[in-house]
Amino acid sequence: MQGKRTVTTLAIVALAVLAGGLLVSSRSVTSIPKARESVLQQNLFTLRTLLDEYVADKHRRPQSLDELVASGYLKQVPTDPMTGRND
């Protein structure tokens, strides 16, 4: 009887560990897109600020993001965290 109870207890513990792992996995899957959205939001805020500075300095809007790079307002065109591209 003692051996059967130990096996049952181990099975319950194993299921609990497995369920906990699945919860952690599902949280990390949803947190990755949220993290990317957060980076995208910060990038857009920074670009808006730089665009405002450019317009205040040059009295016109840049024709492209490359113009912001060439003018020294950006080091490089940022990569879109959702697509992994910078075009």
Structure tokens at 84: 């992994």
Give the pLDDT mean for 51-79: 94
**Residue 6 carries which DSSP code?**
H
pLDDT in tens, 37-50: 999 999 999 999 99
How many Å apart are CA 3 and CA 11, to the nearest integer? Answer: 12
Short-list 25, 33, 72, 31, CA closest to 53: 72
Does the predicted TM-score (pTM) go above 0.75? no
Residue 61 has pLDDT above 70, yes or no: yes
What helix, strand, coil percent values describe the chain, rounded to 5?
70, 0, 30
Amino acid at 33: P
Query: pLDDT-derived band of residue 7, with 50, 70 and 90 as boundaries?
Result: very low
Query: pLDDT-derived band of residue 75, with 50, 70 and 90 as boundaries?
Result: very high
